[in-house]
Amino acid sequence: MSIALRYAARSDVGLVRSNNQDSAYAGPHLLVVADGMGGHAGGDVASSVAIAALAPLDGESHGPDDALDELERALEEAREEIITRSEVEPELAGMGTTVTAILRAGNKLAMVHLGDSRGYLLRDGVLTQVTTDHTFVQHLVNTGKITPEEAEHHPQRSVVMRVLGDFDADIAPDLSVREARAGDRWLLCSDGLSGFVSGETIARTLHEITDVDTCADRLVQLALRAGGGDNVTVVVADVLELDQVRDGAGPTTNAAVVGSAAISRNRPTSAQDGPAARAAELSRQAAASTPGGGVAVVDETADDDADERRTRRRRRVRALVLWLVGLAVLAGAAFGFYRWTQTQYYVGVDGEAVAVYRGIPQSVGPLSFSEVVETSDVLVEDLPPFVRDRVEQTIHSASLADARDRIDTLADDVAQAQQDAAAEQAAQEQAALDAAAEAAAAAAATTPPVEQPAAP
């Protein structure tokens, strides 16, 4: 049996982010999704570096036995490059990226996974998540502190604990090898899809839309219609048995690169419809608008004829009216968009403390779409490093009450961490005291008694 892949890759900046930090690669032997993090100046670099290190593996020279070794070696090269870039460009320090990749070697699929991007397998109509999220919330689920249902709405569900970056020497990726079975459909995606679209909807879409390109497009649009709060990237791949492929339905042969690693990385969102898409479009129009920007100036040739002069006057009046109407519509749309932003909330940093903001973390020139409404007693420096990074990148909240709950959770985490540190310190001090007591007792037991002189 000879196996091949038919695949499609898509990436969209979304409706909130100002740039696309996701990257993806899809080729005849290699599928990769990388979700960068580290701020505007770092995440896109990290994910692009990961793609550049892995892309050379897209060939037929790998056997099933060495495919995982090749993936690990490429990850290490990417990590070294990320460290070097951070040292040369200090503003990139702290950058990192998730990596979920599949390398086809004959009829075997070698997989490497880091972070909260996901790999799904649709087999016989049943969708299974084959990767485990390396997140703080997943850790809470694994340790029995919260349920999987609670994890879906946990305020820290996007805090990633294991990524490929310049701050973690032991990246410890998840490694596995699976059979490439004809009829299987694979989905690799960033959390811009899995964090906004339910598993049931993803499964139904993968099952119902047979064409990989149409399916990938549909998944992206579903994420955008759900709010598009993050970059969204998907790779959809079907496993084919070449002997059973119909004419014209063969495997894909051209490699595809999308997201920040692609030449088209600055492409605007492809959102087609929905309230979030319309709001984002109004925002772009407001940012790009200038007084008189939409008016076409008609330069008529002077004519002494009275009728011609009246005709020109009417045209000018009509153009002026159209311009005023357009300006009024644009102003109304911009005002409506601003009103909408003021119904949004997020948790971010205000000076040294964690605060609640109303609005969205964006601005147009001197106009900011957010303001601090509450400053908490939680200090940023007290947060665990991975939680601090997430707060600095802002955490979207559904309401003011939700934002307060998120800060309460952060405060509880800080308090618990301090209690754990104090308990550990007390235990160490008690252990030292116990050791000293045992040593003293041992010394007393081995000291011979002093003989008293006999009485005269």
**54-99 pLDDT per residue, tens:** 999 998 878 877 999 999 999 999 999 999 998 999 888 889 999 9
CA-to-CA separations, 334 to 232, 237, 331, 337, 339, in angstroms, rounded = 26, 41, 5, 5, 9
Which of the residue ranges 189-203, 205-219, 228-242, 251-265 would you say has the lowest mean pLDDT? 251-265
Which of the residue ranges 194-208, 296-310, 410-424 would you say has the lowest mean pLDDT? 296-310
Nearest-10 crossing angle of helices 67-88, 43-54: 140
Top pLDDT among 109 and 417 is at 109
User: For the segment 357-402, what is each residue's pLDDT rounded down to a tens digit?
Assistant: 988 887 777 778 888 989 998 898 888 777 888 888 888 887 888 8
Question: Which tokens hold the place of 312?
Answer: 């020109």
Within 10 Å of residue 342's Cβ, how many Cβ atoms? 14
Q: Report pTM.
A: 0.61
According to the model, what pLDDT value does residue 171 have?
74
Looking at every residue in the chain, the average pLDDT score rounds to 82
Top pLDDT among 215 and 370 is at 215
Which of the residue ranges 27-31, 88-92, 208-212 would you say has the lowest mean pLDDT? 88-92
Residue 256 to residue 265: CA distance in whole angstroms: 13
Residue 324 to residue 304: CA distance in whole angstroms: 29
Top pLDDT among 403 and 204 is at 204
User: For the segment 140-191, what is each residue's pLDDT rounded down to a tens digit?
Assistant: 878 788 787 777 777 766 678 889 988 756 678 999 999 999 999 999 999 9
Top pLDDT among 193 and 409 is at 193
Residue 318 to residue 269: CA distance in whole angstroms: 34
Residue 305 to residue 285: CA distance in whole angstroms: 41
Any residues with CB less than 8 A from the CB of 227 and at least 6 apart, and which?
A: 15, 16, 196, 276
In this prediction, residue 289 has a pLDDT band, given cuts at 50, 70 and 90, of very low
Task: Please count the residues of the chain.
Answer: 456
Nearest-10 crossing angle of helices 385-392, 400-446: 160
Range 6-18 average pLDDT: 93
User: For the segment 251-268, what is each residue's pLDDT rounded down to a tens digit?
Assistant: 888 999 999 998 876 777
Contact 164, 117 (CB under 8 A): no
CA-to-CA separations, 31 to 37, 63, 64, 399, in angstroms, rounded = 20, 17, 16, 38
pLDDT at position 286 over 60: no
Residue 6 to residue 408: CA distance in whole angstroms: 47
Phi-psi region of 248 (alpha: psi -120 to 50; beta: other; left: phi over 0): left
Note every long-range contact of 322-328, with CB atoms under 8 Å and residues 24 or more positions apart, other chains counting: 322/295, 323/292, 323/294, 323/295, 326/294, 327/291, 327/294
